[in-house]
């Protein structure tokens, strides 16, 4: 094996010499210096690889896994969202974004050596079993998965439809680990669900942004219009777009969803720190599928990426009121570069995105117009957000300081949960107060919630 490794190094050096031999003489001094630095760093990498393979206590080291680990480490050193994706991971990723795959129904990522739940997908086995965003999976069927790669951990979660798997979960608000039994199933990810609230408000829930999200929203609106017309003879008078705990997904789908409701202007602009004035702008086309009816968008700390693009577009255009808590704060865009057959792909952060007003939400998130305040919630840390991730990118708008929140909404102390309609109760039977706040805003009623305006007028300087 050592001999073959040296042969690989020799071949690599030979190929590099053939490719660069004639070009070096014509390169500018600056380029020559960069080429020299690259050559020196590659020599260092090969030396470290050789020493590790020759001296590590394990003699069955996989050269492929060692190099894969190095590639992942290099990509991760750029920012939290860049990554080298091996061939199997790339295949799984393409399956997830298509909207149909097998497993438990949770979106996961790596947080150090731990597998962290980004969000359970609505109406999947994991969702019904009680897995929550922010949970850490430490064991699968009693065996530790700490230190495994994401691909290895996901493999263990998958299995035949109808088979049982037990996840050991560490949850921040629980003293002891939780063991959750889940029956595997075929996951058909339906990112859009809808229903009527009362006779006049259409409710649309977006759980993720995959290839079916944009068309799904259009279909949901038509379904709500039909239901309302059959019942009242009129279309819904208002709409609620719920993107709480939506971790994002495909950029193009977020643009399509925004375009459904915005008649004109910039939806989102892509660029680097120097290009943020409508550089790479995506513009709305004429038309609004709900005909300008009032809208409220619900967000929280689990609303990230594509969901923040939609919320930012609807907020900056004045199309909707944003209600909830500060969103996650991921203001960057990743591009997938396939590397060829069985080589995987490189996911790299290529651009920042900017809202219609030119703001970047990187590390800041979307600030709601009406902030939800749960006065009965336990105080303490509210969970990780983009700004808490190691190596996160800086916000290119360093001087950005805009006050957007003009009111707060909180549960009424005397709210009677027993008399609330089932459409505003969560699956646990508890009142969904942010949803109640949205309904109160649209109906101009405060039966179960209290909305208070804030005085954001700057105080005069002394």
Tell me which residues are annotated as active site: 305, 316, 330
Counting every residue written for the chain, the total comes to 462
Measured CA to CA, the distance from residue 139 to residue 135 in angstroms comes to 12
DSSP 201: E
Residue 345 makes CB contacts below 8 A (sequence gap 6+) with 84, 85, 90, 336, 337, 338, 339
Across 210-359, the runs of DSSP E, i.e. the strands, are 238-242, 266-271, 281-283, 295-299, 321-324, 332-338, 345-354
Residues in Cβ contact with 400 at an 8 Å cutoff, skipping those fewer than 6 apart: 359, 360, 364
Distance CA 58, CA 17 (A): 34
- Check if the beta carbon of residue 53 is closer than 8 Å to that of residue 1: yes
Could you give phi then psi for residue 453, rounded to 5 degrees? -70, 150
- Runs of H (alpha helix) within 163-317: 213-232, 251-261, 306-316
CA atoms in the 13 A half-sphere facing the CB of 136: 19
Question: Nearest Cα to 309, choosing from 261, 274, 346, 376?
Answer: 261
Q: Which of 320, 345, 323, 326 lies closest to 334, judged by CA?
A: 345
Partnered with residue 183 across adjacent β-strands are 164
- Nearest residue to 371 (alpha-carbon basis) of 299, 431, 309: 299
Distance of alpha carbon 230 from its chain centroid, rounded?
37
SS3 of residue 422 by DSSP: helix
């Amino acid at each position: 094996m050592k001999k073959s490794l040296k042969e690989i190094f020799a071949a690599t050096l030979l190929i590099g010499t053939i490719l660069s031999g004639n070009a070096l003489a014509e390169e500018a001094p600056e380029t020559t210096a960069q080429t020299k630095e690259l050559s020196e760093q590659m020599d260092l990498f090969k030396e470290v690889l050789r020493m590790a393979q020759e001296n590590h206590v394990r003699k069955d080291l996989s050269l492929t896994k060692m190099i894969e680990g190095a590639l992942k480490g290099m990509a991760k050193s750029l920012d939290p969202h860049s990554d080298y994706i091996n061939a199997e991971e790339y295949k799984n990723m393409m399956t997830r974004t298509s909207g149909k795959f097998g497993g438990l129904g949770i979106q996961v990522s790596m947080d150090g050596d731990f597998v962290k739940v980004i969000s359970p997908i609505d109406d999947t086995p994991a969702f019904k079993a009680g897995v929550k965003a922010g949970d850490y999976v430490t064991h699968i069927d009693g065996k530790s998965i700490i230190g495994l790669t994401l691909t290895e951990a996901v493999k263990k979660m998958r299995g035949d439809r109808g088979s049982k798997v037990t996840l050991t979960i560490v949850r921040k608000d629980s003293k002891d680990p939780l063991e959750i039994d889940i029956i595997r199933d075929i996951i058909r990810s339906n990112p859009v669900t809808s229903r009527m609230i009362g006779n006049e408000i259409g409710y649309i829930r977006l759980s993720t942004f995959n290839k079916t999200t944009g068309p799904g929203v259009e279909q949901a609106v038509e379904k709500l219009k039909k239901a309302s017309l059959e019942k009242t003879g009129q279309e819904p008078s208002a709409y609620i777009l719920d993107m709480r705990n939506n971790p994002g997904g495909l950029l193009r789908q977020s643009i399509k969803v925004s375009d459904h409701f915005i008649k004109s202007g910039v939806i989102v602009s892509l660029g680097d720190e120097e290009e943020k004035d409508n550089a790479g702008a995506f513009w709305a086309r004429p038309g609004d599928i709900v005909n300008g009816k009032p809208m409220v968008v619900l967000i929280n700390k689990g609303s990230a990426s594509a969901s923040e693009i939609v919320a930012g577009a609807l907020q900056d255009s004045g199309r909707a009121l944003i209600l909830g808590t500060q969103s996650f704060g991921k203001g960057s865009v990743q591009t997938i570069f396939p590397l060829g057959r069985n080589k995987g792909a490189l996911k790299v952060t290529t651009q920042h995105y900017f809202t219609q007003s030119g703001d970047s939400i990187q590390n800041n998130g979307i600030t709601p117009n009406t902030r939800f305040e749960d006065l009965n919630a336990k105080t303490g840390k509210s969970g990780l957000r983009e700004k808490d991730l190691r190596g996160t990118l800086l916000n290119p708008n360093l001087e950005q300081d805009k006050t957007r929140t003009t009111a707060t909404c909180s549960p009424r102390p005397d709210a009677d949960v027993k008399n609330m309609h089932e459409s505003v109760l969560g699956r646990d039977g508890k009142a969904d107060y942010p949803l109640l706040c949205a309904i109160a805003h649209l109906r101009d009623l405060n039966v179960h919630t209290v909305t208070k305006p804030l005085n954001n007028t700057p105080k005069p300087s002394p």
